[in-house]
Amino acid sequence: MTRYRQLEHTADIKVEIYGRDLSELFENACFCVFDLMLDQASVRAERAVPVSLSSSDLPELFMDWLRELLFRFSNDSLAIARAEVGRISDRRAEATLYGEEFDLKRHGLKVELKTPTYHQFSLGKTTDGYEAVVVFDA
């Protein structure tokens, strides 16, 4: 299954993210964010960082997840190699992020994603699992 694909957008970065289940959708969203920003193959999973999020509903939880990933990058200089989502429901997610300190020389910086927006945002169940469309300010 394809993890994500980039869609046409005039100014920002628009993506469609896929997952067979919610855990995979969230894990693929993490891959998408860091694949867009960094040389993903160069990021090592040297340390584990637990994450626990609660939100009012599934769409808000997904947006909080994306914001959390970007916060960890900008605030903690954490380049994330992968995420493992343990428990997940419509309102709560528990995961472990695996990564290392961001190194501009080794990881590069393709584009800096600033925040996910609600413009054209959607998240829903499909015949193959789940699909989310997100536009990031870049």
Domains of the chain, by residue range, sit at: 4-137
Task: Identify which of 85, 84, 32, 91 has the alpha carbon closest to the alpha carbon of residue 60.
Answer: 91
Q: Which CATH class is domain 4-137?
A: alpha beta
Q: What mean pLDDT do residues 60-77 have?
A: 98
Q: Does the pLDDT value for residue 1 go beyond 80?
A: no
Kindly state the helix (H) or strand (E) to which residue 107 belongs, with its residue range. Answer: helix 104-107
Q: Is 67 helix (H, G, I), strand (E, B) or coil?
A: helix
Confidence band for 10, pLDDT divided at 50, 70 and 90 = confident
Q: What is the mean pLDDT of residues 5-23?
A: 93
Tokens of 27: 């894990």
